Chain A
Amino acid sequence: DGGITQSPKYLFRKEGQNVTLSCEQNLNHDAMYWYRQDPGQGLRLIYYSHIVNDFQKGDIAEGYSVSREKKESFPLTVTSAQKNPTAFYLCASRSSGGPQETQYFGPGTRLLVL
């Protein structure tokens, strides 16, 4: 089945630790996105990538980093500089057919701070 997988489903971070969230898609989509979701705040864009080896900051990129070495993979690292990382993180992808194309979402990773 085609789709987007995110792992792990739950992730715990200790103070001062960097953690990496995985996002993989087998939809052959060029564009991939990372969102952070907090209660009552909707979805806020962290980073996005329209092509391999290129990515752009979203609205809340501080404290996060990404890489896009392969078309199907777009991992997100939450660094120790992100002081309030507890949230639900969603990865999405979309084909390059244009803005009318549907953006598909993964099941999410919930990050909790110990």
Chain B
Amino acid sequence: AQSVTQLDSQVPVFEEAPVELRCNYSSSVSVYLFWYVQYPNQGLQLLLKYLSGSTLVKGINGFEAEFNKSQTSFHLRKPSVHISDTAEYFCAINSGNTPLVFGKGTRLSVIA
């Protein structure tokens, strides 16, 4: 069975400070990894995904994530957050023909 653990349910951070949202996964096979963002009362939007190659992946809105196979992690980072980054962030994995497996989400609150 596959699973995704997002280690922090809520992360408050001051505007213009850096942030890291942590994601660990468990799988017996190789997986593809995704980060999605959800703004209030909206659907999910893809931020970035790791398929293969360079372990550092750049996404939209200045976010990036690093895949670490030995630690089975895919942490999301941004060097300087804005008020508009306040949202819920979901890490997800996929392999084969199965649906995405999501973590429970991390609520990022940016404080002015």
Contact = CB atoms under 8 A, between A and B. Distances in A.
B46 A102 contact: yes
Contact of B41 (A40, A43, A98, A108): A108
Nearest to B104: A42
Main secondary structure of the interface of B (DSSP, over half): loop
Interface in B87-111: 90, 94-100, 102-105
B32 A99 contact: yes
B102 A42 contact: yes
Contacts of A102: 34, 46, 49
Interface in A49-99: 50, 58, 88, 90, 92, 98-99
Nearest to B98: A99
Contact of B103 (A42, A45, A110): A42
B44 A90 contact: yes
Contacts of A4: 43
By CB atoms of chain A within 10 A, which of B32, B43, B90 has the most? B43
By CB atoms of chain A within 10 A, which of B44, B46, B95, B102 has the most? B44
A103 interface: yes
A40 B9 contact: yes
Contact of B43 (A41, A42, A99, A106): A106
A114 to B, nearest CB: 20
16 contacts: A33-B100, A40-B9, A40-B104, A45-B99, A50-B97, A90-B44, A92-B43, A98-B97, A99-B94, A100-B51, A100-B94, A102-B46, A102-B49, A104-B46, A108-B42, A108-B43
